[in-house]
Amino acid sequence: MTASEALPIKTVGFIVNPIAGMGGAVGLKGTDGKVTLDKAISLGAKPIASQRAESFLAGIAPAKQHLKLSVGAGAMGEAEAEKCGLAFFAIGKTKVETSSEDTQLIADEMIRAQIDLLVFCGGDGTARDLLKSVGMKIPVLGVPTGVKMHSALFAVTPQAAARVAIRYLWSGLPLREAEVMDVDEQAFRAGRVSAELYGYMLSPYEPSLIQGNKLESPITENELRNQAAEALYVIEEMKPDSIYIIGPGTTTRTISDLLDQKKTLLGVDLFQNKKIIVHDANEKQILRAIKGKVARIIVTPIGGQGFIFGRGNQQISSRIIRQVGLDNIVVVATKSKLERLKSLRVDTGDSELDEEFRARGMTVTTDYRSTQKVAVE
């Protein structure tokens, strides 16, 4: 008998929130509630959860002989498991429209079945739904699928989630109490981050594959001077008539402050000739604006996590990044923020593009005419 054949059988529950992440590309900063979902659809939002679910399932498929898989019925996991050719047991009823109550009912049934690990595709809202049912009863792992992902139980990518699941189930990764965080979406859309801790769930922990919860950078006099210095350098380097796609964050907002332009703090704005031409742009608006033009992207990493794409700026999609080109991406981060990061991270939904980032790393502007090469994980 080979080592592989000696592996014990493990049971995994898998739940997909079919609407998770739909608000990202259209700039809605979340998809909580039917009104927001309807608006996202009217703006042309497309489901992304299924693709991310399939990426995770493909990653655990090599262990399928040693896996008992329970999934949510229909679009809540069954469709993806069937497409990936995995044997499964479906829980719940197939529905056209699903709700948070469906998530909780399915989770309740999986807890009664004494599964070894519950994996979900969603964002912070889905994590909150599961917290109500699961608490600290069984380990939970998040496949990053939403717009808001401040909680500490998400893997950095769907592929990373599969690696974490396999290592936890058969190699003994430790568990930790992971924070379940969420923000008020209405306040978020108005440019205010009102994050709240809702509780904790047990989650497998592998620091290189699991994101931390978002950390705010300390506002000190040195930090403000550093932001102003690097912003000034970016402004001096701006080219006439080029389109600048500037992502969210206080560091990038300093650029617009020095230009006397009122930037959307938590959105993506388009600049040309040092003036805002589109406030709070979505993916379609960006693609339309940069067609046939020279464009550059300016982003700052999320404090404590290191993501430059795939968290909070899904409007800057892989299509946009490919059209602009990696050579035309400007990353800005103060020295203190960068010191707290081991590396940068990307999760664009395009695995080949993510690998291009990892292969080359990124040059980060850290001060006036000062840059540093940083690895991308």
**Is there a domain that residue 3 lies in?**
no
User: Count of residues for the chain?
Assistant: 377
Q: Closest Cα to residue 167, out of 60, 56, 47, 78? A: 60
Give yes or no: residues 275 and 164 share one domain. no
Is 289 strand, coil or helix? helix
Give yes or no: residues 149 and 261 share one domain. no
- pLDDT computed for residue 217 by the predictor: 61
Amino acid making up residue 15: I
* Axis crossing angle, helix 221-236 with helix 250-258, rounded to the nearest 10: 60
Question: How far apart are the C-alpha atoms of 361 and 377, rounded to whole Å?
Answer: 9
Task: Give, in order, the Cα–Cα distances in Å from 374 to each of 181, 294, 331, 377.
Answer: 28, 25, 10, 10
- What is the per-residue pLDDT across 140-169, written as a single tens digit (0 to 9) for each? 999 999 876 888 999 999 999 999 999 999
**Is there a domain that residue 1 lies in?**
no
Q: Model confidence at 2, in pLDDT bands (50, 70, 90)?
A: very low
**Is there a domain that residue 215 lies in?**
no
Q: Is the dihedral of CA 90, 92, 96, 98 positive or negative?
A: negative
Judged against a pLDDT cut of 70, whether residue 4 lies above it is answered with no
The alpha carbon of residue 70 and the mean position of all alpha carbons in its chain are separated, in whole angstroms, by 25
Maximum Cα interatomic distance, the chain, rounded to a whole number of Å? 70
Q: How open is the CA angle 193-197-202, to the nearest 5 degrees?
A: 135
Give yes or no: residues 124 and 245 share one domain. no
Mean pLDDT of 82-109: 94
Question: Residue 269's domain spans which residues?
Answer: 221-374
- Tell me the pLDDT of the chain averaged across its residues: 89
Q: Match 């009217």 to its residue by tokens.
A: 42
Number of domains forming the structure of the chain: 2
Q: Model confidence at 304, in pLDDT bands (50, 70, 90)?
A: confident
Task: Say which CATH number the domain at 128 has.
Answer: 3.40.50.10330
In sequence order, what are the beta bridge partners of 372? 364
**Is there a domain that residue 214 lies in?**
no
Give yes or no: residues 127 and 185 share one domain. yes
Give yes or no: residues 333 and 234 share one domain. yes
